Structure 1
Amino acid sequence: MARLLTPRFALLTAADLGYFTAMGIAVQTLPLYVTGPLHSSKAAAGLAFGAFAISALLLRPFAGRLSDRIGRRPLLLGGTALAAVSLALLSLATDLPTIIALRLLAGVAEAAFFVAAFAALADVAPPDRLGEALSLNSLSLYLGLALGPPLGEVLAQRSYPTAWLTAAALCLAGTTAFLFVGETGTPSRGAKPKLIHRAAVPPSIGLCTALVASGGFMAFAALRAQEEGFENTSLPLFLYGATVVVSRAVFAKVPDRVPPLKLGAIALAVIAVGLVLTATPHTLLVGSIVLGIGITFSTPAFFAAVFAAAEPHERGAASGTASAFIDIGLGGGPIMLGLIANTSIPAALATGGAVAAAGCLWTLWLRRAH
């Protein structure tokens, strides 16, 4: 069996950890800052949180094409550096329009970083261990989401600028790690790379529904914890992230042993149950754990389905297409559910569960069609 845990794989994962811990800090602090010191509404908190998805959604396909043409490394370095700038400037923002503008800038960084990172991972992973590679590498994402919120809560008690400057420093640490990764792909100098990878679209729709659900949870978990009377409002996010980290480490080999669309459908069903539990009184923590179990398998399953239909020189386009649906889910989910949360946060979370259930039905149909 080909070796997976190489120095390149380790450096990619470490750099991802720095970036996603920074994002975890923003997940915790941004909604509380908007509804607290800025005295804006919960809908405004959802808009501020999800605004990055507008620019990221528009640019992801172009980032995918660019990573196939010039390589992954320039986008990895540029994306993390730009994310650091957008986070550092949040420390100077004192009004909602400025925050939204900086979140749009963060979307540019997200497009470059995320597309190139997934394409680079597919480059360095053995083909028969891609699911395992996705599971292990994504530990950085969810470890970041587990550690980032409590770290952000502690730092924000000193000041919100302290939290955002720390997040910026973590992104710069990721930039430094990418300097040592080198180029993982083979830049295309011939035919023009694809902008949209059509075969990636159907499984990406299923992935999108999972991320509408999880995006809504991440945007409103701290506010839901406040409603439930939690003194530690970051606890649901910590349990969610910790569950994914532990489960992906323990079950890393499962995505290579279960057909991806079957695994994706099961994951979406579990996500739907988890969101309903978070909306139910006194079961927020249980729902956070159940949601984490569903998310454990959703991303590896759907990305395995996406990359299974892509040639090596198309991985940037496939990653760009799939990650555009991530923006729709993670960005559009909080914005859409924020309109409902303005009246009732439990209703918003339950709606996220209904979206995941619809995604489960779509994925089952897609598997049957295939």
Structure 2
Amino acid sequence: MQKTAKKETLFSRDFILTSLSTFTLFASFYFLLITLPIYIQKIGGTESEIGLIIGVFTISAVALRPFIGQEVDRRGRKIILIVGLLVFLISMLLYDYTKSVTSLLLLRVLHGVGWGAATTAATTLIADIAPPNRRGEAMGVFGMASNVAMAIGPALSMILLQAYDFSILFSIGAGIALLSLLLALPISETMVVHPETPLFSTEALFPSALMFTVSLTYGSIVSFLSLFAQKQGIVNPGIFFTVFAVTLILVRALAGKLSDIKGRKYVIIPGMVLISASLWVLSTASGLEKFLAAALLYGLGFGLVHPSLMAYLVDTVSDKGRGAAMGTFTAAFDLGIGAGSIILGLVLQYYGFRVMYTLGGLIVLTGAIVLIASNGKASRRM
């Protein structure tokens, strides 16, 4: 059973340490968000290869997340978090040695394994720690760690790249990953392990499917936004992620708290509609003004959807299956990013940016319509 779930305060020692470790993990990750496509082009990669290299990172995490979630329940949250962070750190140290598309592709597989383990374990830790009656709020506050990292990381990485080179960029990213590992070491285990746990959580499938439609569009943004911005004459595409992240920071905690009071679907549905609208705006953007308007709308929508879906997921599963449920949910998130990078990358290659982002918006809107039309068990819980 959880040791800390009944505490009324959100800001326990372990909550703070887990959030800080997650912040530095995401900061390291976001150092590559808009710079990696440029690096791939530098070593001779095509647009479709960019999508493949970005996508394989999340696909490797997807393939292992169900097993990771099961091991989080069987062996405990902390040990999986530490192992994941260690693999992530080693991967960051190796980027400067990749000089071909093939070697970079193989490294991205390893990097995705570390990412999948660390993020699944950290999210499960927070789910254990969060007071049940403040679960949505807790997920919103915890999510701000990754949002602050997003506000800083992409723009800072472009500044460093313009001033130095990729070797310096990769070294700083590895240093930040090391800090994440050091912050995780004092974290306490939150549960007694459960030797018999499921590989997949059927209770997690509905919220996971909704998350998939959202993260599909995120894949097209993280993979191709820097190229889109360059085409439109926008010097630093990192500003999109800064606006997106600042908006998320302002919205997430309030959105999670609202879902605690009003109900999950009353927050999720408007969020999905806003995401769809943001992608339509982005598809028509020809200058900085619309570019930033799309970032604002995307941040509002994502900030409403993500913490509310995570809280709904935790509402529906038992303590002993929580790791498996988080594995299923985060696998769906990663699968969406990977599929968005690869499939929408092919759409981009043949039809262009406008069609790609418009199609992404329609996919999210379809998910919202399914949620509106849903009834029965899933709908009542929301």
Pairing of 1:108-257 with structure 2 (within 5 A)? 108-157=113-162, 158-189=164-195, 192-257=196-261
What is the CA distance between 1:368 and its match in structure 2? Answer: 5.8
- Alignment match of 2:292 (pick from 285, 289, 303): 285
- Alignment match of 1:308 (pick from 302, 315, 326): 315
Partner of 1:50: 55
What is the CA distance between 1:328 and its match in structure 2? Answer: 0.9
Deviations 1:59-82 (A, max 9, x none): 101111101111000111111111
Deviations 1:225-258 (A, max 9, x none): 1111112222112211221122225545223123
For the aligned residues, what is the CA RMSD?
Answer: 1.5
Q: Which of 54-63 and 155-164 deviates more?
A: 155-164
1:77 maps to 2:44: no
Deviations 1:26-73 (A, max 9, x none): 1111111112x1232222111111111222111101111101111000
Partner secondary structure for residue 66 of structure 2: helix
Deviations 1:105-157 (A, max 9, x none): 11111221111111100111101111111101001111111211012112222
- Alignment match of 1:334 (pick from 332, 338, 341): 341
- Name stretches of at least 5 consecutive residues in structure 2 with no aligned partner: 1-6
Partner of 1:22: 28
TM-score, normalising length from structure 1?
0.95
**What is the alpha-carbon distance in structure 1 between the residues aligned to residue 256 and residue 325 of structure 2?**
22
Equivalent position amino acid for 1:365 in 2: A
Retained in 2: the 8 A contact 1:27–1:149?
yes
Partner secondary structure for residue 175 of structure 2: helix
Retained in 2: the 8 A contact 1:68–1:313?
yes
Aligned length: 367
- Alignment match of 2:364 (pick from 353, 356, 359): 356
**What is the alpha-carbon distance in structure 1 between the residues aligned to residue 121 and residue 141 of structure 2?**
17
1:34 maps to 2:20: no
**What is the alpha-carbon distance in structure 1 between the residues aligned to residue 48 and residue 85 of structure 2?**
28
Partner secondary structure for residue 214 of structure 1: helix
What is the CA distance between 1:261 and its match in structure 2? Answer: 2.7
Retained in 2: the 8 A contact 1:12–1:181?
yes
Give the share of equivalent positions with the same residue, in percent: 27
**What is the alpha-carbon distance in structure 2 between the residues aligned to residue 126 and residue 261 of structure 1?**
20
What is the CA distance between 1:185 and its match in structure 2? Answer: 2.1
**What is the alpha-carbon distance in structure 1 between the residues aligned to residue 29 and residue 370 of structure 2?**
30
Retained in 2: the 8 A contact 1:208–1:325?
yes
Deviations 1:263-285 (A, max 9, x none): 22221111000111111133221
Equivalent position amino acid for 1:27 in 2: L
Q: Which of 94-103 and 260-269 deviates more?
A: 260-269
Distance 1:367 1:16, change over 3 A: farther
TM-score, normalising length from structure 2?
0.92
Retained in 2: the 8 A contact 1:261–1:305?
no
**What is the alpha-carbon distance in structure 2 between the residues aligned to residue 83 and residue 267 of structure 1?**
31
- Alignment match of 1:100 (pick from 95, 98, 105): 105
Partner of 2:8: 2
Distance 1:136 1:225, change over 3 A: same
Retained in 1: the 8 A contact 2:139–2:253?
no
Equivalent position amino acid for 2:344 in 1: L
Distance 1:84 1:367, change over 3 A: farther
Equivalent position amino acid for 2:183 in 1: A
- Name stretches of at least 5 consecutive residues in structure 1 with no aligned partner: none
What is the CA distance between 1:289 and its match in structure 2? Answer: 0.8
